[in-house]
Amino acid sequence: MRAVARIVAAPDGRGGTSLPTLAGEPPLLVRRTGTRQPGVPADVHLVGGAAGPLGGDRLRIEITVESGAALVVRTVAASIALPTPHAHGRPDTSLVEVHATVARGGLLHWLPEPLIGAAGCDHDAVTRVDVADGGTLVWRDELVCGRHGEDSGAVRLHTTVRYADRTLYRHDLTVGPAAPGWSGPAVLGGRATGTLIVIDPAWSDGGPPPATPLGDTAAAMPLPGPAMLATAVGADLRAVRAPLERARQLTSAAA
Amino acid sequence: MTTAAGSLATLLVLADGRLPAGGHAHSSGLEAQVSAGRIRHLADVDAFLRGRLATGGLVASAFAGAGCARTHAIEDLDFAFEVRTPSPALRHASRAQGKALFRAGRAMWPAPALHRPDVHQPVALGVVAAAAGLAPEQAAVAAAWHTISGPASAAVRLLGLDPYGVHALLARLAPDCDTIATKAMTYLEKSLDDLPADGAPLLDIGAEHHATWEVRLFAS
């Protein structure tokens, strides 16, 4: 399947946020949730309209947050990357691209449920976020390598986060049968991992908080800009989510 | 694009573990994982080195190759490496080794390019390789080798492992270093954002824990 979802958040003129564009197509359906009132960000949920992503799928999510708008995007369930059903020969890869832009004075929280790389999948997740000088971002990504009791599929994460026209974080992660040592003591050491990136213009003067361990298998680290990264590894999603939630408390960039 | 390879013996000088460039003081994250109980035996060291080579090894190899080929763009490359290194402890370790490498490089192959503020180790390796008349692919293979030879030597010291067994691991991984360097060279003309960025979350986390220890054998 090929599908695109587009979300545009703009100020509604009454202190709240409107969504002049909120468009999806199966399997990417988008729904506005939550209350509409001044000072409260617009809540959007991505609702999976089909299983997957499956091998061969090409899915793209485009998010634009205009100046003065505030948007929180979540998903209703984990996204499970699966192999092509009944593939003959070499199965196709699946691709999910997320492109987001946040204008000066805009706020975006991206808090989806995790990506699960099911055994046999061959999946690329490409994330590119452009935040203008003075924009605010909270961006969480989590990966669980394989469903319960199965081996991990092949998953490649490519992440680029830019702030004020400059890249402040570039990270790729490859797991699965073709990635040497991915589950070993040099890369993950476990089956789950997650990152939380925060860009908070309030840190433009004093800088982000200094690096600090968050429990045994997580740490928060300042990025070169008014930004920080929390990264966690663990045996399962719960071990990863908990320290990332603690890291979220380090910022005042609340939604 | 690729220039003629430089002197093989010169490459050996640059890649020698006895080069006084501070490498012996760093375990490349291995000490933290030994302490966490994740590395006990030779097989664990093998898994560590394979994971390290596939992630930080590829990044270092690509940045060393690019540092050798793009001597006009060192500041940009250095910042691009910085944004691939979220751990302040690892940034500090990399810059300290880059500084030490420039110092050694100035003594061996004097060149104006080596009189600059400290840069990250792989970028510095590329600049020093260029000053030594080496080609980008030679810088790339030296960088790949550096990412596994340092922690291998640290494993012997930390775990009291049989040094013959550890060097057998290194010999088995030598062809993989060539493969990584060949792959790194495919990025030689890529834009900064498109250079490899393969990270190792556990090593970033381990480095920040390691930095809080009062007593440690290695600086990183």
pLDDT score recorded for residue B44: 97
* C-beta separation of B158 from B33 below 8 A: no
Q: Do A229 and B82 touch (CB under 8 A)?
A: no
Quick one: average pLDDT of B162-171? 97
pLDDT digit string, tens, across residues B189-217 = 999 999 999 999 999 999 999 988 888 88
Q: Which residues of B touch A168 (CB under 8 A)?
A: 83
DSSP sequence for B36-86: TTS--SHHHHHHHHHHHIIIIIHHHHHHHHHHHH-GGGHHHHHHHHHTT--
- Nearest residue on chain B to A217, alpha-carbon basis: B205
Residue A6, strand partner residues: A23, A62
Helix H segments across B109-200?
Answer: 121-131, 136-159, 163-185
Residue A224 has pLDDT above 80, yes or no: yes
CA distance B176 to A237: 33
pLDDT band at residue B5 using 50, 70 and 90 as cut-offs:
confident
Q: Which residues of A touch B176 (CB under 8 A)?
A: 180
Q: Do B205 and A213 touch (CB under 8 A)?
A: yes
Q: Do A167 and B201 touch (CB under 8 A)?
A: no
pLDDT score recorded for residue A85: 72
pTM, entire model: 0.95
Assign A43 to helix, strand or coil: strand
Mean pLDDT score of chain B, rounded to an integer? Answer: 94
pLDDT score recorded for residue A254: 61
Q: Do B203 and A186 touch (CB under 8 A)?
A: yes
From the list A180, A211, A213, which residue is nearest B88 (CB)?
A211
From the list B48, B88, B212, which residue is nearest A221 (CB)?
B88
Q: Which residues of A touch B47 (CB under 8 A)?
A: 181, 184-186
Is the sign of the CA dihedral A177, A180, A183, A187 positive or negative? Answer: negative
pLDDT digit string, tens, across residues B74-85 = 999 999 999 999
pLDDT digit string, tens, across residues A53-108 = 999 999 999 999 999 999 999 999 999 999 877 667 677 899 999 999 999 999 99
pLDDT band at residue B2 using 50, 70 and 90 as cut-offs:
very low
Q: Do A189 and B79 touch (CB under 8 A)?
A: no
End-to-end CA distance of chain A: 33
* C-beta separation of A239 from A217 below 8 A: yes
Least Cα distance to A188 among B107, B165, B204 occurs for B204
Q: Do A233 and B47 touch (CB under 8 A)?
A: no
Residue B145: exposed, middle, or buried by beta-carbon count in 10 A (0-12, 13-18, 19+)? buried
* Owner of token pair 């719960």: A238
Strands A154-163 and A122-131: parallel
ipTM over 0.90: yes
Q: Do A211 and B87 touch (CB under 8 A)?
A: yes
Sorted by where each starts, the structural domains of chain B and their CATH numbers stand as 37-206 (1.10.4190.10)
